[in-house]
Amino acid sequence: MDLQKLLATAEEAAAKPKYSLQSVDALEEEIRSVLLKLIERGGKSSGQLRKQLLEKEYPVELIDSLILRFTEVGLIDDFALAKDLAKMLFERKGKSKTLIGMELREKGLAPDAIKEALAEIESEDELELAKEIALLKMAKTSGPDKATVERKVAGFLARKGYPSSVVWSAVRYASEQLSR
């Protein structure tokens, strides 16, 4: 008997809308406010913003509609964010295109945005940066012999994500420059 009452109550609750029109407006305004605060704190991708809002257990439909609206008006721009991050990681951190791509994917950026951002980094620029890094690192690194120092520098560049052809070209260049 109690089970039937419980089932009837559950069916009534399921038949009623989860949110009233007033509560949806208030909830949308709350999500909008949270979204603006997240954007103010620094560049975040739409994927990161969506994930953070979902963690707060807001309705998916409202989150997606607000993120779309913010994207349309330019408050969220994954392409610009990807370009800025790629440029910063390349120029300041000396990371390779491969490593930059991995970091951008981890940030939840769209594959199109990542591809466009990485296209701006030329292979020649990557090699030149690797040469500069190798030269600086080799000048600071000590070891019992030249081969050991070269291996240390090669390992350092490899951990930054550079392909082996770039690594060894940069190591050879730095070694030649320092042996003069």
Average of per-residue pLDDT across 69-95: 92
pTM of the model: 0.72
Burial 56-90 (b: 16+ CB within 10 A, else e): eebbeebbeebbeebeeeeebbbeebbbebbeebb
Residue 69 has pLDDT above 90, yes or no: yes
With CA atoms as reference, report the closest residue to 162 among 130, 128, 138: 130
pLDDT of residue 79: 93
pLDDT of residue 14: 60
pLDDT of residue 10: 64
pLDDT of residue 24: 73
Using pLDDT thresholds of 50, 70 and 90, give the confidence band for residue 104: very high
Average of per-residue pLDDT across 73-97: 92
pLDDT of residue 143: 80
pLDDT of residue 18: 54
How far is the C-alpha of 38 from the C-alpha of 52, rounded, in Å?
9
Whether the CB-CB separation of 101 and 114 falls below 8 Å is answered with yes
Using pLDDT thresholds of 50, 70 and 90, give the confidence band for residue 72: very high
Among 3-12, 43-52, 66-75, 137-146, which is the least confidently predicted range?
Answer: 3-12
Average of per-residue pLDDT across 95-121: 92
C-beta atoms surrounding 140 within 10 Å? 9
With CA atoms as reference, report the closest residue to 45 among 94, 116, 109: 109
* Cα dist from 156 to 8, 81, 139, 146, 152, whole Å: 67, 27, 13, 15, 6
> What is the Cα gyration radius of the chain?
26
Among 2-11, 54-63, 95-104, 132-141, which is the least confidently predicted range?
Answer: 2-11
Q: Where are the domains of the chain?
A: 19-72, 78-119, 123-178
* Cα dist from 167 to 112, 117, 129, 136, 156, whole Å: 28, 22, 11, 14, 9
Can you list the alpha helix ranges (DSSP code H) found in the chain? 2-15, 21-40, 46-55, 60-72, 78-91, 97-106, 111-119, 123-140, 146-159, 164-178
Average of per-residue pLDDT across 56-79: 91
Using pLDDT thresholds of 50, 70 and 90, give the confidence band for residue 142: confident
Query: pLDDT per residue over 11-41, tens digit each?
Result: 766 665 555 555 778 888 999 999 999 999 8
* Cα dist from 45 to 39, 107, 137, 157, whole Å: 9, 7, 34, 28
With CA atoms as reference, report the closest residue to 118 among 128, 129, 126, 108: 126
